[in-house]
Structure 1
Amino acid sequence: MAVRSWTADMRAARAWDGVVCFWVVFWLALGAWVGYEMWQLGGLSQSAVDSGRALGTAGRALQDLGGLPLIGSRTGQLGDQVVASSSSIIDSGTQAGGSIRALSVLTGVVVALAPTGPVLLLYVPSRAGSRRENRALRVALLDPQRTEQAIAHLARRAVANLGFAELVAVTADPDADLAAGRHDHLARAEMRRLGLPETLLTSRA
């Protein structure tokens, strides 16, 4: 039953890794999509800029007509007003386009990082630390001068980390085993919990 529990813990850890990976990828993709869709709205401001430029062309044409006889200065004044309006439309469209692009980037980043930030800051460093610890234990177990020290460390961790049912399935008196230096069974139990291969102990003299 204890072996089943250790196997279930390992499977649960891998399942959580998969869930976290899916969560992060999903929100990053969603943030990128939201940002892209908002960026596309900048096309509306570009349409306004194009309309302003066309209006400016018409206004300048009216200004040219202002010097013709009979038509008089009214046409020229109308042309001045149209050119001024076109300049205002172009400026507003350009500013709106810049604001939309900046907002699209900001919104995409917020949508992507708000749900994933806690995961990236808490879960990932914890898992990375566990993997570094496992690598260090592997190196120590393969080093004849440090093997006994690593086994004793694993035995103490087993007493601290394993549940009562799992612990008594390994030894009836874990405290006595620790005091007497009987570390092997406890160390193997902790290695199974961590996902370390027990074959690391087979070559020990």
Structure 2
Amino acid sequence: MARTPSSTSARPARSAAAVTTWDGVVSFWVVFWLVVGVTTGYLIWQLTGLSAGVVDAGQALNTAGRALQDLSGTPVIGERTGELGNRIMETATSVRAGGASATTSLRGLAVVIGIAVGLGPLSPVLVIYLPRRLAWRREVREVSAVLAGPATSATQDAAVEILARRAVHNLGLRDLLAVTPDPEGDLAAGRCRSLARAELGRLGLATPASWL
């Protein structure tokens, strides 16, 4: 009775078509959250207009205070207006400092929240998807390099056998049984070309003409 490796039932197939589909989904996810992050940061940055208005109000108070100080030399009312002008200018200084501080804080908050909103949802892409995608790309390049190398009989037979064993390990159970009902028996008997072609198909690579 044919025996199939237990790993084939527990490990789903990774095909070139599936990788392409996931690339599209992940690209959309990345672009979407980057746009959301930039938009969020921009809207918060726009709030600095409110603090700029506070700074302008402080400048207006400062002008009024200076005008009252200029009246300090006027007989009878000069002393009172001078004192009032000093108080108004002190208030104006405090208002302008508060407005400038609020502007700085809002800009910093806009940057931090924009980055958090934009990059937070992308952490699974950076931590999980990207390393696996790079590993897949490296795997395809390695196999492509072997196929493009000198096609001696020994190297070709070795490549076919290795690819067949990788097919047994990588293909899902249904896909594997669609290739052969006895994967291990085929490997033991040296019937490896069908499995090797299936592995190349999984990687999105064309079968060399010498294998046909």
- Normalised TM-score (structure 2): 0.86
The AA in structure 1 aligned to 2:209 is T
Aligned pairs for 1:1-205 within 5 A: 9-143=15-149, 144=151, 146-198=155-207, 201-203=208-210
Deviates more, 1:167-176 or 1:79-88: 167-176
Q: Structure 1 residue 182: deviation in Å?
A: 2.4
Q: Structure 1 residue 10: deviation in Å?
A: 4.0
What is the percent sequence identity of the aligned residues? 51
d(CA) in 2 for partners of 1:165 and 1:44? 63
Q: Structure 1 residue 194: deviation in Å?
A: 1.6
Question: Residue 66 of structure 1 aligns to a residue in which SS?
Answer: helix
8 A contact 2:65–2:84 mirrored in 1:
yes
The answer for the alignment partner of 1:3 in structure 2 is none
Deviates more, 1:167-176 or 1:19-28: 167-176
Change (3 A) 1:131 1:194: same
8 A contact 2:54–2:96 mirrored in 1:
yes
8 A contact 2:193–2:211 mirrored in 1:
no
Higher RCO, Cα 8 Å, sep 6+: 2
Q: What do residues 38-76 of structure 1 show as CA deviations (whole Å, max 9, x unaligned)?
A: 101001111110110111011011111112112131110
8 A contact 1:141–1:151 mirrored in 2:
no
8 A contact 2:35–2:118 mirrored in 1:
yes
Deviates more, 1:176-185 or 1:86-95: 176-185
Q: What do residues 105-127 of structure 1 show as CA deviations (whole Å, max 9, x unaligned)?
A: 00000000111111122112211
Aligned residue-pair number: 196
8 A contact 2:15–2:204 mirrored in 1:
no
Q: Structure 1 residue 14: deviation in Å?
A: 2.0
Question: Residue 20 of structure 2 aligns to a residue in which SS?
Answer: helix
Q: What do residues 111-145 of structure 1 show as CA deviations (whole Å, max 9, x unaligned)?
A: 00111111122112211210111011011012125
